[in-house]
Amino acid sequence: MSRENRGHVEAQAVVLTRMAATRSELLSRRKPTYAVRVIPKPRVGADAGPWVLRTPNAALIAVLLVGAVVLGPRRALQTALQSALHTGLSVWTSRIVSAFTGER
């Protein structure tokens, strides 16, 4: 080791010794505290928006919620079921007809 490096190592050892002594002194003077268990609050409200937006049917959920607010729950459900029945029935019929005719 060079002289500069030896001096650095010795200075570092002195600093580390002082730090250890100071730490032990602080710990001995400190009053014992009792650990308090902190129970985290569930953050459902904060994470609900991004979770809903990540779902595949986010637009459908949003439309149903707005419809329930504007039209009322009964009328919104009735409208949603009628729309699903007509749309689903027409899509199903189109698939069956195109499958029979061989257009696909």
Contact residues for 77 (Cβ-Cβ < 8 A; gap 6+): 68
Which pLDDT belongs to residue 14?
A: 94
More confident residue, 98 or 32: 98
Q: How many angstroms separate the CA atoms of 8 and 18, rounded?
A: 15
Q: How many angstroms separate the CA atoms of 78 and 13, rounded?
A: 80
Q: Tens of pLDDT along 47-96?
A: 566 666 666 777 777 777 887 888 887 887 787 777 777 777 777 777 77
Cα dihedral 76, 79, 80, 82, rounded to 10, equals: 160
The model's pTM: 0.29
Q: What percent of the chain has pLDDT over 70?
A: 74
Note whether 67 and 79 are within 8 A (CB).
yes
Band (pLDDT 50/70/90 cuts) for residue 104 is: low
